Every structure is written in structure tokens, then in C-alpha cells.
């Protein structure tokens, strides 16, 4: 992991030599090293994985050419002889040979790690030559010479290389079976059925890797069908061992969980629950700790991160997922014979926590689920999802809701002033840092619980005792706040109304009220905004019109008569003031504020 993807020659050479070596330990009672026979297969697998991670995606790296890496890995996978290194570890893998200086490779120990190392070197390369080297043989003699569980490794390794060829279909999965397994050939039933189960599991695991975290509906339905067929096939395949069947069933459940990781999908949860309950009800010793671990870990993947995380699809992520879910499950908690259990935790390196998105109400801070349109460059069809959601690859997100203001988050145009500029950049930053999109609900949303309570309160407790003039003013304010979604204008209108009342009653309370009116006057001069405005109605029809506003006319956002009327009232009031008397009075300050006199600050 430290040298991942670097192609470091020294470390690659060391790890390659360890593939055909056994772990050497120092005895506390002796100064001579000894060989740990119980962990030779997990040691070879770990060494092979180390070679693959160091040379991850390096392919034909010129810096590793003199090591003949590809040729040696193929030899360790299919068999051959190699030079003996005079250390105690070699005696474990040594078999009879005519030459004392060479020995044959025990492929039962080295094949799995070597196949994965070669696959990681050419990961996602679609190299046909390497794929053919990793593919399972088609002849009966060659198939009978390979241990059945190694067929799983060969299928996964070849598909990791031929990445673009993976298809989420039952036909593609069954297409991996050699003709001698699907017909009444010369292969004995145990070999055919054991090989069939492992090849099927390898193909399903490849689909799980390709669509990990994608929540692909087709891949999900395909794997669900494979699990169902595999459970029915168990009653027909009497020759397959219970251990192999349970192990392959665990692989199928983990493959399904990889596709639906973080989704909490109900269909997947039901399928995993059926398998888990059957295991708990089965008292046979063939259902081991490792089988329970496989299904329960699949259940955990389904709710990964509480539904807020998924898996990446990078070459490194795929590699660590293969290592973490390698289907040589332990028989007990201390079993390290075939696979180092510490490697099971490497799946966390493939987790993607930057795909979750939720929409938050900007006013209340509560979660507000809305429809989200996902746009991707190069794809004509847009995907519509419901928040909260785990996002796929995207270029633009758009809030699709009639109850909320439109919000667009465009990651491709960050910093572009023509596309929202700083506002879009702030939205992208909030999405990246907090995984949130803030939305604002439109005023008067009929589904808003606050509005429903307000309407009921008004009908039951509020009685209209105001004049027709006040009613017209309230109606106008409601129209501009309700229809035009501008509730922040309400305070401005109320301040202006208070100013008018104060002027007409000769009881001006504060000069700042004049500033409010002045602001509205400037707004009227500078902007000519238009908005739908309801035609004048009688006061008694106000309740009916609160729910219906179909017959709309047109009026200015700030009505000229509304502003000019208050302005004229102020001018009449100020004209009656004597400029030489009471210079420091509040009324004079208001007059100066209205005129914009620079002496106002001195007087106040």
C-alpha cells in the first residue's frame, strides 16, 4: 500500500520472490529459523497481491522489463520450474526434480496470488493477450488439473483486465461456462459441478465489481435471479459439496451488496435476510463462521455509512475490493490459512463519501426532499432522483420542484461569471464540503404546514374591522409577497404605511421611516419590474381570493400611486415647517433625511 502504483523495482523484486517462498519465523527456543506451514497459502496470496498493488496499472513498465514479471507470474499460475533459493522456506514448496538446482512450482499455493498480481498490472486495460492467459481453459484435461476454487480467481482476474466486456446479464454470466460443463461430456460430476459453481460465482462477483455502488437496476435484477437459481440448483447438484455451495452463495450475496451499497434497497435486504435466516436455522457444521461473516458483511454493505456512502470505481478501489472480499472464508476467528483476515478491512479504502446529497430548507434548517435532475455531458437523457440520494457521476444538478425556487449547481462552470459566478461557486463549495443543497420554499405553498395553520388561525380568530383603504393596502401587500415570492418587501411596505399615518396625524416617530419611503421611491425610478397583480376586489371576497388567483392583471412591483401619494403627503407636511424654527427637531431631521442633506449627520 505504501508503494501502491509506483512500480518500485526493488520492492517488486522482493515481493515477487516471496510468492514462491513460505513465511519464516524465529523460534524462541532455537536460533535457527523455521517455516510456518499453516500460513503458506495466505503468505503467497499476500505477496502476489503486494506485487499487483505496487505495479497497479503499470502494464509493460520499462523499469520492470528485466524482471520478466509477466512471464514469471504466468509460470507461477499455470506451473513450471524455477531456481532454488537456499533458504528454509523453499523446502515447503519443493517437489521431486531431476535437477537439484531447480524445483517445480506448487501452483495450488501460488496460482491465486499470481493471477491477481497479473490482473492488477493490466487492470482496465482490455488487453486481449493477458485476458487469454488468465482465462479458464476449455479442455477437459486442463480443467481437471486446476483446483475448483482457482477457477473463481481466474474468472475474476480475466474480467478485471477485460473490464469493458462485463455485462449485467444472465447470458453473459453463463457464457463463462466451458462447453464440457454445460453438456454431458466426459467430466465426472463432482469436477463439473464444483467448477460450475465457482465459475458462476466468479462471473457474478465481476458484475458486482463493475457496478459497485452504482445501484444499477439491471445488475441488481440479474444478481437476484442468479441467487434464486443458485439456491434451486443446489437440490439438483448432489455432487457439489456443501462447503463449496455455501462459499459461492456468500460470494453472490456480497456481489449483490456491492452493487446496491449504501442504498438500503428493500429487495436486496429481503434476499439477504432469507439467506441469513436460513444459515441461523441450519445447525449443520458446514455453515462456518466465514459463511456467516460473508452474509452479514453483505448486509452491512447494503447500509454502508448509514446510507451516506458508496464505492468508488477507480482501479485502486477495484483492486482493494477484490482483496477484501476474496472468497476464501475462515472457519473460525483465528483462521489465517488461506487469507489474512486483516485484509478484509481494506474495503474502507474504496469507500466514496462524496456522493451523498441532501436538500435542506434554507429557512428552517430541516431536511426538505425534492426531485433532483442529474445532467451529464455526453448523455441525452437526464436522470431524475429524489433526495436524499447517492449521486452518480454528474456535471450539473437542478432542483425540480414547483414548491421551491429553482437552484442549479454546475460543477463544470465554477468561476464563470456568465453562469452565476460566485453564487454557483458557493453552491459547489457547500455541496463538496457539507454534501448539501439549500433550497427555499415559495411563499403560499399549499402543502406548507405553517401556511395551513396560519389560514386556520385567520378563519377562526381574526375579524376584519379595518377600513376599505387598509384592506386594499393589505391585499396589495399580500399579492406582492404571495404571488411574487418577495416576503422581505413586507417590512418595507409596513414602514411606509406607518410613515404615512405618522405624517397625516402630525406624529412622526422616527426619521428612519423617511429613509424607507425614499428607498421605495428610488426603486420606482430605477427599475420597472412587472408582476401579476389581481384586479381590485371587494373586502368580503378576501378569503375566497386567498386560495384562488387565476384572474390576474398586471401592475408594477412598486406602485407609482402608492409611493407618490406618500411622498406628496410628506412634502405637504414638510412645507408647513418653518426652516428657521426648531432646527434640531425630529421633524426637521426627517425633512433633511428626505432631501439627502449632508448636515443630517451633524444634527442627529
Query: pLDDT of 278-302, one tens digit each?
Result: 888 775 657 889 999 999 999 999 9
Residue 262's pLDDT is 93
Least confident span in 6-10, 62-66, 261-265: 62-66
Assigned domain for 253 exists: yes
Q: Check whether residue 406 and residue 368 sit in a common domain.
A: yes
CA-nearest of 361, 360, 348, 288 to 320 is 348
Contact 517, 509 (CB under 8 A): no
Q: What is the SS3 assignment for 534? A: strand
Secondary-structure percent of the chain, ordered helix, strand, coil, rounded to 5: 55, 10, 35
Domain boundary (327, 350, 373) is at 350
Assigned domain for 572 exists: yes
What is the C-alpha end-to-end distance of the chain, expressed in Å? 71
Q: Check whether residue 185 and residue 273 sit in a common domain.
A: yes
Q: What is the SS3 assignment for 52? A: helix
- Burial category of 487 from C-beta neighbours within 10 Å (exposed 0-12, middle 13-18, buried 19 and up): middle
Residue 122: C-alpha distances to residues 58, 347, 456, 482, 547 (Å): 7, 21, 68, 62, 66
- Strand-pair partners of 396: 375, 410
Q: Check whether residue 399 and residue 542 sit in a common domain.
A: no
Contact 582, 588 (CB under 8 A): yes
Residue 539's pLDDT is 37
Q: How many domains does the chain have?
A: 4
CA-nearest of 585, 578, 567 to 513 is 567
Q: Check whether residue 342 and residue 415 sit in a common domain.
A: no
Assigned domain for 151 exists: no
Confidence of residue 242 (pLDDT cuts 50, 70, 90): confident
Assigned domain for 153 exists: no
Q: Check whether residue 344 and residue 306 sit in a common domain.
A: yes
Assigned domain for 233 exists: yes
Alpha helices in 122-188 (DSSP H): 128-134, 140-144, 148-161, 170-174, 179-182
Please, what is the Cα angle at 108 between 143 and 7, to 5 degrees?
A: 105
Look at the pTM and tell me if it is higher than 0.85: no
Tell me which residue range forms the domain holding 80: 1-121
Q: Check whether residue 172 and residue 240 sit in a common domain.
A: yes
Assigned domain for 159 exists: no
Q: Check whether residue 83 and residue 46 sit in a common domain.
A: yes
Q: Check whether residue 420 and residue 514 sit in a common domain.
A: no
Q: Check whether residue 365 and residue 235 sit in a common domain.
A: no
Residues 312-356: pLDDT tens digits?
Answer: 999 999 999 999 999 999 988 888 888 999 999 999 999 998 889
Assigned domain for 554 exists: yes
- Where in 285-402 does DSSP place strands (E)? 310-311, 351-352, 356-361, 371-375, 383-386, 389-390, 396-400
Amino acid at each position: 500500500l505504501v508503494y501502491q502504483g509506483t512500480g518500485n523495482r526493488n520492492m517488486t523484486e522482493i515481493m515477487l520472490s516471496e510468492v514462491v517462498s513460505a513465511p519464516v519465523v524465529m523460534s524462541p527456543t532455537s536460533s535457527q529459523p523455521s517455516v510456518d506451514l499453516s500460513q503458506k497459502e495466505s503468505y503467497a496470496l499476500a505477496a502476489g497481491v503486494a506485487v499487483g498493488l505496487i505495479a497497479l496499472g503499470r502494464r509493460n513498465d520499462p523499469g520492470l522489463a528485466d524482471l520478466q514479471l509477466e512471464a514469471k507470474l504466468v509460470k507461477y499460475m499455470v506451473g513450471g520450474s524455477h531456481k532454488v533459493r537456499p533458504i528454509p522456506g523453499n523446502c515447503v514448496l519443493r517437489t521431486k526434480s531431476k535437477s537439484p538446482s531447480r524445483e517445480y512450482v506448487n501452483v495450488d499455493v501460488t496460482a491465486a496470488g499470481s493471477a491477481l498480481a497479473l490482473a492488477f498490472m493490466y487492470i482496465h486495460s482490455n488487453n486481449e493477450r493477458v485476458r487469454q492467459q488468465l482465462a479458464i481453459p476449455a479442455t477437459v484435461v486442463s480443467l481437471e488439473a486446476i483446483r475448483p476454487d482457482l477457477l473463481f480467481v481466474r474468472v475474476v482476474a480475466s474480467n478485471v483486465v477485460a473490464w469493458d466486456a462485463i455485462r449485467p446479464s444472465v447470458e453473459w454470466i453463463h457464457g463463462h461456462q466451458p462447453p464440457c460443463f454445460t453438456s454431458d461430456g466426459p467430466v465426472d460430476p463432482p469436477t463439473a459441478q464444483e467448477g460450475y459453481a465457482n465459475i458462476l460465482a466468479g462471473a457474478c462477483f465481476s458484475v458486482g465489481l463493475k457496478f459497485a455502488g452504482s445501484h444499477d437496476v439491471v445488475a441488481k435484477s440479474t444478481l437476484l435471479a442468479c441467487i434464486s437459481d443458485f439456491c434451486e440448483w443446489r437440490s439438483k447438484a448432489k455432487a457439489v459439496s456443501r462447503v463449496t455451495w455455501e462459499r459461492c452463495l456468500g460470494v453472490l450475496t456480497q456481489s449483490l451488496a456491492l452493487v446496491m451499497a449504501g442504498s438500503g434497497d428493500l429487495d436486496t435486504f429481503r434476499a439477504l435476510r432469507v439467506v441469513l435466516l436460513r444459515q441461523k436455522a441450519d445447525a449443520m457444521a458446514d455453515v462456518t463462521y466465514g459463511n456467516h461473516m460473508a452474509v452479514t458483511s453483505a448486509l452491512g454493505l447494503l447500509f454502508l455509512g448509514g446510507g451516506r456512502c458508496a464505492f468508488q470505481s477507480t482501479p485502486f478501489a477495484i483492486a482493494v475490493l477484490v482483496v477484501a472480499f476474496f472468497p476464501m472464508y475462515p472457519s473460525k476467528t483465528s483462521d489465517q490459512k488461506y487469507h489474512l483476515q486483516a485484509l478484509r478491512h481494506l474495503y474502507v479504502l474504496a469507500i466514496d463519501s462524496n456522493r451523498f446529497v441532501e436538500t435542506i430548507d434554507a429557512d428552517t434548517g430541516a431536511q426538505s426532499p425534492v426531485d433532483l435532475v442529474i445532467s451529464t455531458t455526453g448523455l441525452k437523457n437526464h436522470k431524475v432522483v429524489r433526495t436524499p440520494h447517492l449521486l452518480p457521476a454528474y456535471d450539473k444538478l437542478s432542483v425540480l420542484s414547483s414548491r421551491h425556487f429553482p437552484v442549479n449547481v454546475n460543477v463544470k462552470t465554477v468561476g464563470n461569471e456568465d453562469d452565476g459566478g460566485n453564487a454557483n461557486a458557493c453552491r459547489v463549495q457547500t455541496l463538496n464540503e457539507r454534501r448539501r443543497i439549500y433550497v427555499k420554499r415559495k411563499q403560499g405553498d399549499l402543502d406548507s404546514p405553517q401556511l395551513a395553520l396560519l389560514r386556520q388561525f385567520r378563519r377562526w380568530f381574526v375579524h376584519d374591522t379595518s377600513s376599505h383603504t387598509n384592506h386594499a393596502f393589505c391585499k396589495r401587500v399580500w399579492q406582492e409577497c404571495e404571488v411574487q415570492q418577495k416576503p422581505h418587501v413586507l417590512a418595507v411596505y409596513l414602514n411606509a404605511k406607518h410613515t404615512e399615518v405618522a405624517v397625516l396625524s402630525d406624529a412622526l416617530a422616527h426619521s428612519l421611516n423617511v429613509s424607507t419611503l425614499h428607498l421605495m421611491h428610488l426603486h420606482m425610478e430605477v427599475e420597472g419590474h412587472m408582476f401579476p397583480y389581481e384586479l381590485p376586489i371587494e373586502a368580503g371576497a378576501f378569503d375566497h381570493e386567498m386560495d384562488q388567483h387565476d384572474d390576474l392583471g398586471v401592475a408594477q412591483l412598486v406602485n407609482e400611486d402608492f409611493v407618490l401619494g406618500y411622498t406628496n403627503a410628506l412634502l405637504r407636511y414638510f412645507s408647513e415647517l418653518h426652516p428657521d424654527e426648531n432646527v434640531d427637531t425630529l421633524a426637521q431631521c426627517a425633512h433633511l433625511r428626505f432631501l439627502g442633506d449632508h448636515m443630517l449627520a451633524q444634527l442627529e
